[in-house]
Amino acid sequence: MQKYKRIWIGHSTSGGSFIVYLCYMILVTGGTGFLGSHLVCRLVKDGCKVRVLHRRTSDFSIFNRVAKYNHLTDPEINRFVDWEEADILDPYRLEEVVNDISVIYHCAGMVSFQPGDGKRLNKININGTANLINAALQSKVQNFCHVSSTAAIGRADHELIIDERVIWKNSNRNSRYAVSKYGAEREVWRGIAEGLNAVIVNPSIILGPGEVNSGSTRMIRVVDKGLYFYTPGSNGFVDVRDVVNIMIKLINGNIFNERFIISSENVTYKELFSYMAKYLHKPAPKFAANGFLSEITWRLEHARHYIFGSKPLITRETARTARVFYAYSNEKIRQAIDYQFIPIEKCIADSCRFYLADKNND
């Protein structure tokens, strides 16, 4: 992949043409989130110039922690990163920021399992993606990588190993978030049909070092405070560093018009929490949370959210999902780029090590 675009703009004093380099070749949306922050830091370490979209209200705390984990200095960030304020719901602004871009990594999106967030999920994840696809087509962007989710593959036949051949089925097992990500993928396929070189990645639950307060990594903090119960289900999990590596490999390898599940291992929640407890030097949870206890827990979390305004760790959708055994195949991506994933236990070990160091520095 080129890091700079060459454009002819005039003549030198000797009469020959001369070349200048347009630095902003790569655009990253969602660059202040967990995955986007790791991606931006990796691109900077590779010597790429990156334009990062952010909203006026964006919180840079995750990016700062991830940059710290990657040992990036402020001068390096200032040299290679251009922070561009824009909203993916503003199609005219997107046309401006995409104008000189050759590669787009679309990591932005809303994640929520709250009952009242369905319309906003669709607006941001579907309409926002449609706007970015339109801008990319208009500006003749060379390559586009869209970050979706295993949720967008569908879960109607959850008793089977899920791979890329599974066909989406409308089902009450699909969360509102899943529906919105499936809709976003349809916009990407539309872009592909209209000539865009695009690839879709479907990560499972993303874990990894560099964040401690939000998303799936927030589970580490919960285990550190003491966790006695585990849910009986399982899911696919993947290290954030694997997701970043694969996204870059797919773009650099010119692999397009495909979707790939990005998942390292299928792990039970009991195993996951036991790994966390091991590397936090805490007791592992011993008791399985049955359906009745899970239903009580999400209701208590909902009440706490209503009274105190705090974001609930568990919702009705996540509580019920955590009792189901989901399993994902990574065979397609491993064959496509001959990739070896980071084991989930090592992912947890590195994440806990960062968490404890960050905690001790507070």
- Indicate whether 362 pLDDT > 70: no
Number of H helices, E strands in the chain: 14, 16
CA–CA separation, 47 vs 45, rounded Å?
5
Structure token digits, residue 286: 């011993």
**Which tokens in the block code for residue 253?**
């390898």
- Give pTM, 2 decimals: 0.86
| Mean pLDDT (whole number) for 211-221 | 80
Which pLDDT score, from 0 to 100, does residue 71 have?
Answer: 94
Strands (E) located in 113-218: 143-147, 161-162, 198-203, 205-207
Q: Identify residue 7 by its one-letter amino acid code.
A: I
Q: How far apart are CA 249 and CA 256, in angstroms?
A: 11
Identify the pLDDT of residue 303.
40
Give residue 192's pLDDT. 98
CATH of 5-208+235-264+328-343, one of 3.40.50.720, 3.30.70.2740, 3.30.310.50, 3.30.43.10: 3.40.50.720
Residue 306's pLDDT band, with cuts at 50, 70 and 90, is very low
**What residues does each domain of the chain span?**
5-208+235-264+328-343
User: Mean pLDDT throughout 55-68?
Assistant: 92
Burial of 180 (0-12, 13-18, 19+ CB in 10 A): buried
Q: Out of 127-131, 250-254, 282-286, which region has the weakest mean confidence (pLDDT)?
A: 282-286
Residue 219's pLDDT band (cuts 50, 70, 90):
confident
Per-residue confidence at 348, pLDDT binned at 50, 70, 90?
very high
pLDDT grade for 318, boundaries at 50, 70 and 90: low
